[in-house]
């Protein structure tokens, strides 16, 4: 099944209730939610469908949560437009630019929009690449990724783990890493998937234990892949 073709056609048709709309909402809600975005799935859907948002009584909504949600929609559309292309630093940096534009972080002096980090950061509790080493490590990782002969899914997961351990940007690494997963699945013509925020602990455990037992993360991704296959079936039967 050509999932990329379906997503592109539905995007152009502006089809309501289809796979493209469902994917935009669910990926925006879950990928941002893993990074502590507080918007509900209903609020994300309303932003996507009507460009409005409704708050509960006395609910305070962080403007950055809204901006990042809209940015995620834009980034997903860009990803669809270049999905068949080999993964490059230029594409990855564009993801960062699109995801973080106009956020409060983007106005900080140390935050380079579309550029690698200038200050040390952590991936959970894990120490990541030093800022001065990021460019070299990213080039090396992409070279290894593009020359390794892994099975496609395992190769994409391997890249995701190593990308997160470099943590090349000052912020937005998680969303970018998961956008890369979706793109590369489409590129390799395997079912893409959305890692759900209610299974965040399983996902984080997979990342934390990957070097010792890669199966935890692989299993979490395969489960998510099965869930997305079900979503495809549901949308196409409607």
User: Rounded to an integer, what distance in angstroms lies between the CA atom of residue 212 and that of residue 87?
Assistant: 27
Does 43 score more than 80 pLDDT?
yes
Contact 96, 114 (CB under 8 A): yes
The confidence score (pLDDT) of residue 125 equals: 81
Contact 53, 108 (CB under 8 A): no
Among residues 77, 66, 76, 59, the alpha carbon closest in space to that of 102 is found at: 66
Q: 32 lies in which domain range?
A: 3-237
pLDDT digits (tens, 9 = 90+) for 93-131: 999 999 999 999 999 989 999 999 999 999 988 889 999
Return the higher-pLDDT residue of 195 and 1: 195
Does 149 score more than 80 pLDDT?
no
User: Rounded to an integer, what distance in angstroms lies between the CA atom of residue 227 and that of residue 230?
Assistant: 5
CATH of the domain at 130: 1.10.3290.10
Band of pLDDT at residue 150, cut at 50, 70 and 90: confident
In degrees and rounded to multiples of 5, residue 22 shows phi and psi of -60, -40
Strand partners, 126: 123
The confidence score (pLDDT) of residue 56 equals: 83
Q: What is the Cα Rg of the chain in Å? A: 17
The confidence score (pLDDT) of residue 72 equals: 98
Provide the domain count of the chain. Answer: 1
pLDDT digits (tens, 9 = 90+) for 70-86: 999 999 999 999 999 99
**Comparing 57-61, 153-157, 186-190, which segment has the lowest mean pLDDT?**
57-61
How do strand 122-123 and strand 126-127 relate by DSSP bridges? antiparallel
Residue whose tokens read 């892949």: 225
The confidence score (pLDDT) of residue 1 equals: 79
Query: Phi-psi bin for 172: left (phi > 0), alpha (psi -120 to 50), beta?
Result: left
The confidence score (pLDDT) of residue 199 equals: 97
User: Rounded to an integer, what distance in angstroms lies between the CA atom of residue 201 and that of residue 13?
Assistant: 37
């Amino acid at each position: 099944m050509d999932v990329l073709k379906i997503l592109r056609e539905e995007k152009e048709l502006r089809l309501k209730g289809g796979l493209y709309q469902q994917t935009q909402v669910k990926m925006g809600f879950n990928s941002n939610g893993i990074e502590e975005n507080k918007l509900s799935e209903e609020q994300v859907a309303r932003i996507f469908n009507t460009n409005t948002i409704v708050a509960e009584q006395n609910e305070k909504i962080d403007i950055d949560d809204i901006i990042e949600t809209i940015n995620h929609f834009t980034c997903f559309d860009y990803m669809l437009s270049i999905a068949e292309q080999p993964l490059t630093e230029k594409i990855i940096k564009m993801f960062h630019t699109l995801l973080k534009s106009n956020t409060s972080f983007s106005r900080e002096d140390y935050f380079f929009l579309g550029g690698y980090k200038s200050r040390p950061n952590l991936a959970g509790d894990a120490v990541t690449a030093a800022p001065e080493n990021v460019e070299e490590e990213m080039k090396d990782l992409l070279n290894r990724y593009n020359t390794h002969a892994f099975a496609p899914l395992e190769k994409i997961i391997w890249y995701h783990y190593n990308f997160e351990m470099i943590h090349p940007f000052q912020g937005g690494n998680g969303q970018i890493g998961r956008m890369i997963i979706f793109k590369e699945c489409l590129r390799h013509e395997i079912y893409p998937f959305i890692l759900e925020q209610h299974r965040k602990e399983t996902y984080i455990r997979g990342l934390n234990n990957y070097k010792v037992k890669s199966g935890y993360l692989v299993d979490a991704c395969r489960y998510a892949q099965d869930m997305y296959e079900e979503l495809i079936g549901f949308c196409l039967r409607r």
